[in-house]
Amino acid sequence: MASMINVALPKGRLGEKVYKMFEEAGYGCPDIFEGRKLVFESRDAGVRYFWVKPSDVPIYVERGAADIGVAGKDILLEYAPNVYELRDLGIGKCRMVVAAPKGFTDDSEYPLRVATKFVNIAQDYYASVGRDIDIIKLNGSIEIAPILGLSDVIVDLVETGTTLRENNLIVYENIMDISARLIANKSGYNFKSREINALLEKLQQTAQI
């Protein structure tokens, strides 16, 4: 008998898009958007979904609580989980950038004060360009930091550019392009390779990933 595939989906818009891709591929689950329940399964489709906080998806997958999951490349680079990266899903596209108030100039006599949620990505980026920084770790609303003089620049994600524009910030450097990735637990992938490969094949047919 085929095993159920346990899937960690990021709560929110990206997770809903991903679920729809899975549903089109024949892995639908009734009532998945109803109420506050976090676990849904369809025995017929052989799949069980968990809605989890986006930055927690790699933890569930790395530790095998989920066989596969979907996480942004930003989260994978920041936390470097020990998982397989199976596919670029081609959705959730955005950019990791350095942004600052208009008119900002970098004074290399002082460490650059960088506010970000992505401490490792920011540190790696500035190490690669040889710039000393003072990291200020925040958990959200990063754009406010340079406005209040807490930081000189921010390292953050930009999708439409609206948040930067409405807070009078502009992009100074592009660090990298980001998109959503399908990841798998290493031993889970080996143990359920038949089921997971069948899912990948169907996703490939319906979503052209």
Contact footprint for ligand PRP (CB under 6 A): 140-143, 156-163
State the amino acid at position 184 in one-letter form: A
- How far is the C-alpha of 9 from the C-alpha of 15, rounded, in Å? 5
Report in angstroms how near the CB of residue 32 gets to ligand PRP at its nearest.
Answer: 22
| DSSP label at residue 111 | P
**Minimum CB distance to ligand PRP smaller for 30 or for 140:** 140
**Minimum CB distance to ligand PRP smaller for 139 or for 208:** 139
CB 65, CB 183: distance < 8 Å:
no
**Minimum CB distance to ligand PRP smaller for 133 or for 164:** 164
Distances (CA, A) of 6 to 80, 83, 139, 184: 21, 15, 29, 10
Please choose, from the candidates 49, 36, 146, 39, the residue with its C-alpha nearest in 3D space to the C-alpha of residue 98: 146
Report in angstroms how near the CB of residue 93 gets to ligand PRP at its nearest.
Answer: 11
* Nearest residue to ligand PRP on Cβ basis: 140
Report in angstroms how near the CB of residue 165 gets to ligand PRP at its nearest.
Answer: 8
Q: How many CA atoms lie within 13 A of 162 on its CB side?
A: 2
**Minimum CB distance to ligand PRP smaller for 29 or for 164:** 164
**Minimum CB distance to ligand PRP smaller for 150 or for 198:** 150
CB 100, CB 164: distance < 8 Å:
no
Beta pairing partners, 33: none
Report in angstroms how near the CB of residue 18 gets to ligand PRP at its nearest.
Answer: 16
Report in angstroms how near the CB of residue 142 gets to ligand PRP at its nearest.
Answer: 6
Question: How many Cβ atoms are within 10 Å of 17's Cβ, its own excluded?
Answer: 16
